[in-house]
Amino acid sequence: MSGILSAIEPKNVFAHFEKICDMPHGSGNTAIISDYLRSWAESRGFAVVQEPCGNIIVRVPASAGCEAAPTVILQGHMDMVAVKDADCAKDMEKEGLALQTDGEYVWAKGTSLGGDDGIALAYAMAIAEADDVKHPALELLFTIDEETGMDGALALDPALIHGRRLINLDSEEEGTLLVGCAGGARVDLCMPLEREEISGSAYRLKIAGLQGGHSGAEIHRNRENALLLMGRILGSLGAEAEYRLADLCGGTKDNVIPSEAEALIFCEASAEGSLEKIKKDLLAELISREPGLQITWEKTRETGSVVSGECRDRIIRLLTLLPFGVVKMSAAMPGVVETSANVGTITMSDEFRLTCSVRSMIASARDYLAQQIVVLAALCGCESKVHGAYPGWQYRPESPLRDTMIAVYEKMYGKKPQVEAIHAGLECGLFLEKLPDLDCVSLGPDILDIHSTKERLSIASTARMWDYLKQVLTALC
């Protein structure tokens, strides 16, 4: 571990965060960090439970004088969305992150940072160790694989949870308390491909430089989707020139707006004129909202296989018609996205595979949007599977925890916090299914561009939210 954050205040928080970043902990790869958290708790004499799935529950005694206060749960997830730049050689399955800081932000060189949700673990561990913070009895609940289907929240045995006041530490905007979230599901599409061998002139088309981002938190920002944009380029090219499609790929996760895509096509050099025109038109249209957009191609000689013309056309039709972005805004909460869709990943080999993420504050709207994608996929020759559905978190008119947290914020900062629902999914909805009397609020420091290699954590915001969390816990005594 480099110790690059060792001098940054609050030191205990950033020391824990750096240790977390030093371990690989992408979704599906959380065994190491789960065992580390168990060992950390045991070494400090805390009672700890490690569930078979890897969830960790740590019980921290109340501070002196706070024994009669109801237990508070501090909750976050262990896994991060592990993505990296195309030229980054790091093996994120085996290596930790290369942390960087300029004194204002912390980020990871060439990869995502995992501030979502490593900072939650760091906050909770630092609170448990602090001898200058008055707090009720605590349950630290650390779940696995939130980013790929909330597997830890789904597997949680509710009998292990004693508290009924839960502070979720999985938000990314200081000064905003989240009190509701969207539910979601994943839709996987698959189509067998007919291929034939070919050799000759080929072009590798690339899209890069898009902003990407989280398909919930940033879906309303009108960002371009690299996979759908590549489909648009290929569809426009097919109207002007003959080509054969060999490969199409891009995206990292179903819940990440893809910022890069690549295609391999076989065609004559005369197609370059059409590509230039398509590029010029798209840059003129999109550059104001995607200033980093790059559309490039490289001519090469290739020997390989291409898909049949019928398969190619089905793929292009699908990419032309799939929903992406905001589908409907909420009528109950003005300014909040109700329902949305994201096309997250595409791979091609013997099969064409595509993943979508659908979200909605309303379960029936989520299910209907998923069904629309299923029907559209069938019309384009694809089989589909809807899975990983999880519930939303409905706003509750009465919440003593929320009232206390608002009052503490107003006392500290002289103004009320924003109280909002978020379109991204949080585990609170699943916890409430298991424990209906749970009182939940979510908070966190400023984290920019989560789920991307541009992700960065604000140092000053982390310190302010640390102070706020301590004051909230004291007030709850």
Does a structural domain hold residue 5?
A: no
Structural domain harbouring 103: 11-182+393-475
Residues forming the active site: 79, 146
Range in 98-107, 211-220, 263-272, 277-286 the model is least confident about:
211-220
CATH of the domain at 22: 3.40.630.10
Whether 233 has a pLDDT exceeding 50, the answer reads yes
> pLDDT of 124-173, one tens digit each?
999 999 999 999 999 999 999 999 889 999 999 999 999 999 999 999 99
Summarize pLDDT for 371-391 with one digit per residue, the tens. Answer: 999 999 999 999 999 998 889
Token pair belonging to 391:
């519930």
Q: What is the mean pLDDT of the chain?
A: 95
Query: How confident is the model over 414-445, as pLDDT tens digits?
Result: 999 999 988 988 999 999 999 999 999 999 99
Domain boundary among 372, 390, 408: 390
- Mark which of 356, 390, 424 sits at the end of a domain: 390
Q: Is 114 left (phi over 0), alpha (psi -120 to 50) or beta?
A: left
Let me know if residue 269 belongs to a domain. Answer: yes
Q: What confidence score (pLDDT) does residue 2 get?
A: 62
Q: Where is pLDDT greater, at 304 or 356? A: 356
Flag whether 455 is in a domain: yes
Mean pLDDT of 272-297: 97
The average pLDDT across 319-341 equals: 93
Residue pLDDT, tens place only, 240-274: 999 999 999 999 989 899 999 999 999 999 999 99
Shortest CA distance to 385 belongs to which of 166, 114, 191? 191
Determine contact, residues 324/354, Cβ cutoff 8 Å: no
- Asked whether residue 2 is assigned to any structural domain, the reply reads no
Same domain, 311 and 397: no
Largest Cα separation within the chain, whole Å, is 81
pLDDT(332) > 80: no
- Look at the chain and report how many structural domains it folds into: 2
Confidence of residue 24 (pLDDT cuts 50, 70, 90): very high
Do residues 202 and 282 share a domain? yes
Least confident piece of the model among 118-122, 198-202, 358-362, 391-395: 391-395
Helix (H) or strand (E) segment spanning residue 437: none
Rounded mean pLDDT, 62-80: 97
- Residue 377 maps to which CATH number? 3.30.70.360
> Which of 370, 390, 410 is the endpoint of a domain?
390
Query: Is residue 327 very low, low, confident or very high in pLDDT (cuts 50, 70, 90)?
Result: very high
Residue 395 reports pLDDT greater than 90: no
Which of 315, 304, 424, 300 shows the shortest CA–CA distance to 360? 424
- Per-residue pLDDT band for 6 (boundaries 50, 70, 90) equals confident
Same domain for 333 and 191, yes or no, is yes
Closest among 70, 49, 78, 48 to 60, alpha carbons compared: 48
More confident residue, 363 or 187: 187
Nearest to 366 by CA among 333, 340, 331, 347: 340
d(CA 450, CA 310): 38
- Residue 290: pLDDT over 80: yes
pLDDT value of residue 273 = 96
Whether 51 shows a pLDDT value over 70: the answer reads: yes
Instruction: Say if residue 328 is in the same domain as residue 446.
Output: no
What is the structure's pLDDT at 1? 47
Q: Phi and psi dihedrals of 215, rounded to 5?
A: -75, -5
Is the domain of 261 the same as that of 339?
A: yes
